[in-house]
Amino acid sequence: MKTQGSMKSVTDSANPEMSSDFTIKKPFDKSTFALRVTLVMLAILTVYAFFSFDYKDIQIIGAIAATIENFKIMFVEAHFAHFTFSEAIYQVLITIGLAFLTTLFGAVIALFLGLFAAQNLSSKAASKAIKGIIAFIRAVPTVLWVLIFAISAGLGSVAAVIGMTFHSIGYLTKAFSESFEELDEGVIEALRGSGAGWWQIVFQAVIPSSLTYLVSWTFVRFEINFGVSVAMGAAAGAGGIGYDMFMASGFYFDLREVGMITYFILAFAILLEVLATQLKKRLNVN
């Protein structure tokens, strides 16, 4: 009868793959060669760009020191100068409201489009057509959609809501349709075999099985829309805390006020993340 130690030595000698000294080396193929050449070329171009860039009269060391000083003024000496604490909270709530509206509108429309875009719930022609349109919508940045709708609606909150909703629809439709396509085909076929209609399959099997994914993706898009709403407040004149940051940095050039607004945005972003995490736990969302 062999002991445990002798059995281990026999196993290691018979199967060298299981030995701790044995390592599997990836073969050097064309893809690996192309990747390494690309990385080397990018590194060379980066170094060359730093040395060949026209810095004019700017001294790198002095510019870095000035940047550090500006950050010190911005975040250490932060204070309000042109509006009060309560007004800042009100402006942040406007930004959150803008993100909430765009996420709500986008999620409702994307839910129906996602059902028709899922291949297991719709025809292949309809699925490909919707996915093609959605891919085009996602390819265009949110800021560009806002500026496109601003031509007809004018700069302001209306153009921002429409443009952000448009991009939210493209983002959530893709996420929702992929969640629907991951459902067990046997459940859908069983319901069809029992005589259930399309809407009955949707509300009795598809939506309940995908609810956790729908909530999770919707919260992800809400967090994205909150950040976009800050930018749209300045770029599209949608108001909110983003417009106040634009005025403080571009009009008043008050670094201390910019720092205080940044603190407000970070605080509310962290608060939204905590609330979203707690709600996901209660809904058992992974």
Note the pLDDT tens digit of each residue in 28-44. 677 888 888 999 999 99
What is d(CA 218, CA 215) in angstroms, rounded to the nearest whole number?
5
Distance CA 147, CA 232 (A): 10
Please list, in sequence order, all residues whose beta carbon lies within 8 angstroms of the beta carbon of residue 120, skipping any fewer than 6 positions away: 180, 181, 183, 185, 188
Residue 124 has a pLDDT of 87
Range 108-125 average pLDDT: 89
Q: What is the dihedral of CA 97, 103, 104, 110, to 10 degrees?
A: 170
Give the model's pLDDT for residue 169.
93
Q: Judge whether 220 and 280 are in contact, CB under 8 Å.
A: no
pLDDT digits over 74-85, tens only?
Answer: 888 888 877 788
Q: Does pTM surpass 0.75?
A: no
Percent of the chain with pLDDT over 70: 88
Whether 261 and 88 have beta carbons less than 8 Å apart is answered as yes
CATH topology of domain 84-282: MetI-like fold (1.10.3720)
CA 198, CA 208: separation in Å to the nearest integer? 15
SS3 content of the chain, % helix, strand, coil (to 5): 80, 0, 20
Q: What is the DSSP secondary structure assignment for residue 149, as one 8-state letter?
A: H
**Mean residue pLDDT across the chain:** 82
Element (H, E) at 164: helix 157-181
> Where in the chain is CATH 1.10.3720.10?
84-282
- Mean pLDDT of the 146-154 span: 81
Find the helix packing angle between 157-181 and 207-235, rounded to 10°. Answer: 150
Could you give the CA distance from residue 119 to residue 177 in angstroms, rounded to a whole number?
8
Decide if pLDDT at 280 tops 80.
no
Rounded distance between C-alpha atoms, residue 50 and residue 54, angstroms: 9
Checking if the pLDDT of 3 tops 70, the result is: no
Q: Could you tell me if 169 and 109 are in contact, meaning their C-beta atoms sit under 8 angstroms apart?
A: yes
Between 147 and 104, the higher pLDDT residue: 104
